[in-house]
């Protein structure tokens, strides 16, 4: 037996969808906005809003949210119409071949192999191939327009990049790292006292050789049972959190070039030599320059776009009838 609340919600959804269907059939050409000499109809707004309605139905959310979203979508339609009018005045257009190429790129990126599969995917979104192609053509025109009117006029200087790097240093800070060489003499989990004693004696012998001046790489190849023994025990750079705590404390406390004593861990007996330390490292500016530049370009372009749209709206005749 269905829950009464679910039944009421289902009826509400059906009423909303029935209203929308009847609206499309009866008042499909009702004008909801005038933008200069062009109109936006209720059917256009409904078409823009349908994906949102479907999501509400799927997720069983409050259908009362339709109205505020409808108004926001209308404002977006007005801005889009203004841009398309501006593109037309500026002679900005794309060729059918460019639209086809863009469509093929979308299909490839989506992993859709056949035309039939692509049409089926569009149908799930209540789109026909013709509708999708028209929408894609408009988007390509708008991208070209925004590039000309906004992005091409945005410049980021080297000073701005350096200032951003300085002011946001935490964003580019890395965890402290230590580069160590390592000797491990294994102790099996169920080792006998004799086996433990043998392992400790072998580790002590390796430490004596190191303290007498023998090269760490040579001693590691001879004594270590660790995974990097044949590489001279070189573990490379390790960040905090990548070593066992009892070993990490010692490794980060040692000075560069210093040897540890014999350290016991769950794996066995360990000896470390610290080759290098990066205690407060940051990614170098050369490595992150393009990332910063792109971030600043996007921020500036966003602000310039808002100002540009505001200017278009101020010059236009707009009447909302919703």
- Cβ-contact 309, 77 below 8 angstroms: no
pLDDT recorded at residue 161: 96
Tell me the pLDDT band of 221, cut-offs 50, 70 and 90.
very high
pLDDT tens, 183-207?
999 999 889 999 999 999 999 999 9
Would you give the distance in Å from CA 42 to the centre of its chain? 36
Mean pLDDT of the residues in the chain: 85
Token readout for 179 is 């580069």
Q: Where are the alpha helices (H) located in 90-157, listed in sequence order? A: 96-110, 115-124, 129-149
pLDDT recorded at residue 66: 59
pLDDT tens, 114-168?
888 888 888 887 788 898 999 999 999 999 999 999 999 999 999 999 999 999 9
- Cβ-contact 82, 35 below 8 angstroms: yes
Tell me the pLDDT band of 49, cut-offs 50, 70 and 90.
confident
Task: Write phi, then psi, for 212 (nearest 5 degrees).
Answer: -85, 0
- Cβ-contact 270, 248 below 8 angstroms: no
CB-based burial, 195-218: b 16+ in 10 Å, e otherwise: eeeebbebbeebbebbeeeeebbe
Say what angle helices 285-315 and 158-167 make with each other, to 10 degrees: 110
Average pLDDT of the segment spanning 311-316: 95
pLDDT tens, 262-271?
999 989 999 9
Residues forming a β-bridge with 271:
183
257 by DSSP, 3-state: which?
Answer: coil
Token readout for 295 is 């971030």
pLDDT recorded at residue 58: 58
pLDDT tens, 288-306?
999 999 999 999 999 999 9
């Amino acid at each position: 037996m269905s829950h009464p609340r679910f039944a009421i919600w289902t009826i509400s959804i059906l009423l909303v969808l029935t209203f929308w269907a009847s609206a499309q059939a009866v008042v499909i050409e009702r004008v909801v906005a005038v933008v200069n000499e062009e109109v936006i109809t209720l059917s256009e707004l409904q078409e823009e809003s349908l994906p949102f309605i479907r999501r509400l139905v799927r997720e069983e959310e409050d259908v009362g949210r339709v109205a505020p979203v409808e108004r926001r979508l209308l404002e977006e339609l007005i801005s889009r119409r203004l841009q398309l009018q501006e593109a037309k005045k500026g002679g900005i257009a794309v060729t059918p071949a460019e639209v086809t190429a863009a469509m093929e790129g979308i299909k490839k990126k989506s992993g859709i192999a056949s035309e039939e599969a692509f049409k089926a995917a569009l149908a799930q979104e209540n789109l026909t191939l013709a509708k999708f192609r028209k929408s894609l053509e408009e988007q390509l025109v708008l991208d070209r327009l925004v590039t000309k009117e906004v992005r091409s006029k945005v410049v980021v200087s080297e000073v701005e990049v350096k200032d951003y790097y300085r002011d946001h240093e935490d964003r580019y800070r890395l965890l402290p790292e230590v580069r160590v060489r390592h000797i491990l003499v294994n102790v099996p989990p169920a080792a006998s006292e004799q086996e433990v004693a043998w392992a400790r004696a072998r580790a002590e012998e390796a430490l004596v050789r190191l303290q007498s001046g023998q090269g760490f790489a040579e001693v590691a190849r001879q004594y270590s049972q660790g995974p990097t023994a044949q590489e001279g025990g070189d573990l490379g750079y390790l960040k905090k959190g990548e070593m066992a705590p009892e070993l990490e404390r010692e490794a980060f406390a040692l000075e560069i070039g210093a040897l540890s004593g014999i350290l016991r861990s769950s794996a066995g007996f360990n000896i470390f030599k610290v080759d290098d330390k990066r205690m407060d490292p940051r990614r170098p500016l050369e490595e992150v320059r393009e990332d910063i530049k792109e971030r600043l370009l996007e921020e500036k372009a966003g602000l310039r776009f808002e100002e540009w749209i505001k200017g278009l709206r101020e010059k236009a005749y707009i009447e909302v009838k919703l």
